[in-house]
Amino acid sequence: MEINLFNDPNLVPQPKDKVKIEEFTATPYPDRYRVKVGLKITPFQERPNLLIVAHRNDGKQVSDLDIIATMHYDNEYTMHIRGVDDPTGDYTLTAELYYETRNPPQDKALASISIPAEDA
């Protein structure tokens, strides 16, 4: 008798050498100072670490988020844009997935967003 614990064969937990970032999205909230981040990774047997960093196009880091030993493969976070008087502009977000070391990370993904000027 075979017992199938996973209804979707794509959701079978994988060993750490097969874990990667599957999807990385970023969407600004209407308040312009927060960003909704979506990060899907391969279902895993060993819990990975994640680092998400947001930079303005001039290179200034405006936010970062460390997730140590995440428990979930489908994640959503809210990042806050800090250190700027006006968040208007273009941003690049970088996500890194790693286990023991980030040099180099096991996988990396980029997402770009544009925050519009505030309506007058």
Query: In DSSP terms, which residues pair with 39 in a beta bridge?
Result: 24, 75
Query: Tokens standing for 63?
Result: 């936010």
Whether the Cβ atoms of residue 12 and residue 45 lie closer than 8 Å to each other: no
* pLDDT of the residue at 70: 96
Strand runs (DSSP E) across the chain, as ranges?
21-28, 34-41, 49-56, 61-67, 74-80, 89-98, 107-115
Sheet containing strand 61-67, strands side by side: 61-67, 49-56, 89-98, 107-115
- Rounded average pLDDT over 15-37: 97
Walk me through the domains of the chain, giving residue ranges and CATH numbers: 9-113 (2.60.40.2550)
Neighbours of 100 (CB within 10 A): 8
Please write the tens of the pLDDT for every residue from 67-109.
Answer: 999 999 999 999 999 999 999 999 999 999 999 999 999 999 9
* pLDDT of the residue at 91: 98
The model's pTM is 0.89
- Rounded average pLDDT over 34-38: 98
For residue 4, which amino acid is it?
N
* CA dist list (Å): 119 to 27, 30, 35, 55, 85: 18, 11, 18, 23, 16
